[in-house]
Amino acid sequence: MLAAAIPLARAQNNYEIQVYGADTVAPRTTMVELHSNFTADGQKNFVGTQYPDNHAEHETIEITQGINDWSEVGFYIFTSERSGQGVQWVGDHLRPRVRIPEKWRWPVGVSLSTEVGYQRARYAPDTWDWEIRPIIDKTSGRWYWAVNPALERAWHGPDVKLGIDFSPSVKVSYDFTKKITGGVEYYADYGSITNIASLHDQQQQIFPAIDLNVSPDWEFNFGVGIGPTAATDHWIIKCIVGRRFQWGKKR
Amino acid sequence: MLDNECMVGARDSNGGALLRNFTGMFTSRRKFLRRASFIGASVALSGAAQSCSPLFALNQAGAPAPDYRIEIAEIEWELSPKKKIRTVAYDGQIPGRLLNLTEGKPVTIEIVNHLDREEIVHWHGQWIPVEADGAMEEGSPMTPAGGSTLVQFTPRPAGLHWYHTHAMAGHDLKLGLFTGQSGVLHVAAANDLGSYDQQQFIVLHDWEPYYSASGDGSLMVMYVCGSINGRMLGYDAPIQVRGGQRVLFHILNASATEPHWLSLPGHRFKVLALDGAPVATEASVETLRLGPAERVTALVTMDTPGVFVLGEPRDEFRNAGMGTVVEYAGRSSKPVAPRDVKLQWDYRAFADPKPVVRKPDVIMPLVFTSRFKGHGALDQWMINGKSWPTSEPILLREGLRHRLVFDNRSTDDHPIHLHRHNFELISVRGAALSGVHKDVVIVEAGTIVEADLVANNPGDTLFHCHQQDHMDSGFMALFRYS
């Protein structure tokens, strides 16, 4: 997830803002998602050669293919649009993921995602990076929670020397109705696991968010994020629209 | 004829419970001689041995001697060499022993409960008094933990029925029909269902249930594996047939929640009876559909020599074990599995060619709805807006023809069951029919099924969805004779 992959004290790139659930996309199913994130109040100045993201519209296309009932592969196309810059391709990521099969009947959902990819230096100083993301979630009655204690590593760029970064995210939600779920999502980047940053330099974002469950084929998520620390974009509006496509022979 | 007096002495060399009084019922007896090992064998076996003592005490006290005894105990069961499960079963085997009774001939059955909780056995499909029916909601007594009860009734009607636990499971997927507490109850009539060369009893069951999110956003029960007659596909002795034989299949879906389809490649099923009741038209079909608790009696003429899988045509269920091999004499090859089968079932195929119109005395709308309780919870189910146990009894008038209008306004199919009676289907999806009598009918999502009930067996009568998770979440009502 590129948003959390950018080490602190640098401008953020909010391309995919999502706490992962443990489910994987079903086999013979393709999930296509459009992540639209607008930074209403963000980094206003260049950081080195990197563009500011204030008033930037980031559109990310995520295509995820279910392999079997315990794995999937996701592919991302990141773009950015900002006044004076037009629509720009930012980079691509590949994200394989495996999960504990449901039939193992664990009390919580568990999956493990890893993501690797490239982004242009104009949009992120580290052009190659890697992430490993454990995912734990649980639905109980009307309540749902998910925890993603992600670890990230720059492979090419100025932050290679910083080592492994800790970027957890958490979601708690409540089913108000069958179709409407409301909750809070939390995203953070605490800095290197061997040298946790001060609160001032940490990235912290809190998103009150709504999920609409209008159809098993569609996914809607909308939220407004608040960044209370100096190193965080202060206001972000995010929206995810997803559509599942089933194909192949039905068993 | 106390079948398992003393059970310890009645076990075969493989450790399976020997069906001394029923072996004549099976042309392939070994199918029913399962390798079962009791958990804590000393407890179960000593329980079986000890159960002779109270029986004698009963006899000495003048109580009727039971014709059969059913022992309820935990077992470890081998679905396949790689898949062992722990569950509760009857008489140490899955399915429970075949009980072959005679219509009109009274029977006494002792139920011995080795569990540390109450249990109750329901005689599904039998028109018997409340005291014997086996539903605590009607007032039938439960068998206490570590205790026993005697049940007496006169079997009727004839046909393929079954006996099973009627205990609630709640949210515990190790209770109720999720266990192995089920067996075939075959009531023989003076007039048999036709000539045949051999008969086979087929019991479907799903195992290792777990909760999963359904497509409509509510929680549902899924299973890791399934079995026919307690064994996964490939791990049971094949059903041996000869070319030209007529094989009468008695098929029961004993799954707690899952409807199943069955096919036998190259063969057709001539359906003779549904839920034990002879059908008006003995139609031949390629595929059978059985909702939970439904039964089909069908004749198959063995006219396509080879080796086949009698099983689920849906890969995911068959690959999970739902199948058994049918092998012609002298043939040995890789079994041909049912594939590319059209899943099509219509009760009207077995109805009178021209529906007989009958006028009801009373029309009773029964509207099925659900209430969302969260994506991580089971829905709450309601009949006419009320959930069991808070609903009021629905009144019947003895002798009258009640038209039950099953109006399923939910997004699930429901196998609707009525205790101690059966009903005649009057319409399905707006199309009239007659001549199909059932005690379980699948009412598909968003459809209406009409059925006529003639109230002729006084006493409280339970009415419910036979999906264990639905009936435990309010989908029940009591019919009461006024």
pLDDT of residue B3: 35
State yes or no: pLDDT of B165 exceeds 80.
yes
Considering only residues 24 to 83 of chain A, which have any Cβ-Cβ distance to chain B shorter than 8 Å?
none
* B372 to chain A, closest Cα gap in Å: 6
pLDDT of residue A210: 98
What does the pLDDT look like over A225-234, one tens digit per residue? 999 998 889 9
Q: Output phi, psi for A199, to 5 deg.
A: -55, -40
Band (B283; pLDDT cuts 50, 70, 90): very high
Band (B25; pLDDT cuts 50, 70, 90): very low
pLDDT of residue A248: 65
Looking at per-residue pLDDT, the higher value among B212 and B92 belongs to B92
Band (B193; pLDDT cuts 50, 70, 90): low
A143/B374 touch (CB, cutoff 8 Å), yes or no = yes
* A70 to chain B, closest Cα gap in Å: 14
List the helix and strand counts (H, then E) for chain B. Answer: 5, 33
Reported ipTM? 0.85
Q: Which residues of B touch A142 (CB under 8 A)?
A: 373-377
Mean pLDDT to the nearest integer, B444-455 = 98
- Which 3 state secondary structure label does DSSP give B7? helix
* A44 to chain B, closest Cα gap in Å: 42
Per CATH, the homologous superfamily of domain A2-246 is monomeric porin ompg (2.40.160.40)
Nearest CA in chain B to A179: B217
State yes or no: pLDDT of B18 exceeds 60.
no
B208/A105 touch (CB, cutoff 8 Å), yes or no = yes
State yes or no: pLDDT of B23 exceeds 60.
no
Q: Which residues of B touch A212 (CB under 8 A)?
A: none
At residue B189's C-alpha, the angle toward residues B351 and B3, to 5°, is: 130
Considering only residues 93 to 132 of chain A, which have any Cβ-Cβ distance to chain B shorter than 8 Å?
102-103, 105
Q: Which residues of A touch B374 (CB under 8 A)?
A: 139-143, 175
The pair of structure tokens assigned to A202 is 């940490």
What does the pLDDT look like over A99-129, one tens digit per residue? 999 989 999 999 999 999 999 998 988 999 9
pLDDT of residue B396: 97
State yes or no: pLDDT of B33 exceeds 80.
no
Considering only residues 140 to 159 of chain A, which have any Cβ-Cβ distance to chain B shorter than 8 Å?
140-144
Residues of chain A with pLDDT > 70, as a percent, come to: 93
Mean pLDDT to the nearest integer, A35-63 = 90
Nearest CA in chain A to B212: A102
State yes or no: pLDDT of A148 exceeds 80.
yes
Identify the sign of the CA torsion B148, B149, B152, B158. Answer: negative
Cβ atoms of residues B101 and B185 within 8 Å: yes
pLDDT of residue A231: 87
pLDDT of residue A4: 40
Identify the sign of the CA torsion A174, A180, A186, A187. Answer: positive
pLDDT of residue B433: 97
Mean pLDDT to the nearest integer, B289-317 = 97
Look over chain A and give the mean of its residue pLDDT values, rounded to a whole number: 91
A251/B315 touch (CB, cutoff 8 Å), yes or no = yes
Band (B35; pLDDT cuts 50, 70, 90): very low
Size of interface A-B (CB pairs under 8 A): 50
Nearest CA in chain A to B343: A251
State yes or no: pLDDT of B217 exceeds 80.
no
Band (A174; pLDDT cuts 50, 70, 90): very high
Band (B340; pLDDT cuts 50, 70, 90): confident
Lowest mean pLDDT among B43-57, B167-181, B461-475: B43-57
pLDDT of residue B218: 81
* B201 to chain A, closest Cα gap in Å: 27
Q: Which residues of A touch B212 (CB under 8 A)?
A: 102
A144/B376 touch (CB, cutoff 8 Å), yes or no = yes
Smallest CA-to-CA distance from B97 within B207, B179, B4 is with: B4
d(CA B101, CA B22): 11
Task: Note whether A181 contacts B: Cβ–Cβ < 8 A.
Answer: yes
A175/B215 touch (CB, cutoff 8 Å), yes or no = no
A139/B218 touch (CB, cutoff 8 Å), yes or no = no
A139/B374 touch (CB, cutoff 8 Å), yes or no = yes
Which of A29, A68, A100, A103 to mutate: most B Cβ within 10 Å?
A103
B216/A139 touch (CB, cutoff 8 Å), yes or no = no
pLDDT of residue A5: 38
Q: Which residues of A touch B315 (CB under 8 A)?
A: 251
Mean pLDDT to the nearest integer, A194-199 = 92
Mean pLDDT to the nearest integer, B164-179 = 96
Lowest mean pLDDT among B18-27, B119-128, B315-324: B18-27
Band (B192; pLDDT cuts 50, 70, 90): low
Mean pLDDT to the nearest integer, A188-193 = 94
B314/A177 touch (CB, cutoff 8 Å), yes or no = no
State yes or no: pLDDT of B27 exceeds 90.
no
Q: Which residues of A touch B316 (CB under 8 A)?
A: 251
Band (B303; pLDDT cuts 50, 70, 90): very high
* B206 to chain A, closest Cα gap in Å: 13
Report DSSP letters for A126-160, one per residue.
Answer: -SEEEEEEEEEEEEEBTEEEEEEEEEEEEEESTTG
pLDDT of residue B63: 66
Mean pLDDT to the nearest integer, B326-339 = 95
Looking at per-residue pLDDT, the higher value among B1 and B386 belongs to B386
Q: CB-hemisphere CA count at 13 Å for B326? A: 30
Residues of chain B with pLDDT > 70, as a percent, come to: 86
State yes or no: pLDDT of B31 exceeds 60.
no
Report DSSP letters for B260-288, one per residue.
Answer: EEEE-TT--EEEEEETTEEPSS--EESEE
Residues of chain B with pLDDT > 90, as a percent, come to: 83
pLDDT of residue B16: 27
Smallest CA-to-CA distance from A236 within A185, A166, A172 is with: A185
Lowest mean pLDDT among A15-19, B44-48, B130-134, B465-469: B44-48
Task: Note whether A178 contacts B: Cβ–Cβ < 8 A.
Answer: yes
Pairing of strands B287-290, B277-278: unpaired
State yes or no: pLDDT of B59 exceeds 50.
no
Q: CB-hemisphere CA count at 13 Å for B100? A: 13
β-pair partners for B296: B251, B274
Mean pLDDT to the nearest integer, A52-58 = 91
Mean pLDDT to the nearest integer, B68-75 = 98
Task: Note whether B316 contacts A: Cβ–Cβ < 8 A.
Answer: yes
State yes or no: pLDDT of A7 exceeds 50.
no
A103/B222 touch (CB, cutoff 8 Å), yes or no = yes
pTM, to two decimals: 0.85
State yes or no: pLDDT of B44 exceeds 60.
no
pLDDT of residue A159: 87
Domains of chain B (ranges; CATH) run 7-188 (2.60.40.420), 198-345 (2.60.40.420), 362-481 (2.60.40.420)
Nearest CA in chain A to B377: A141
Nearest CA in chain A to B225: A103
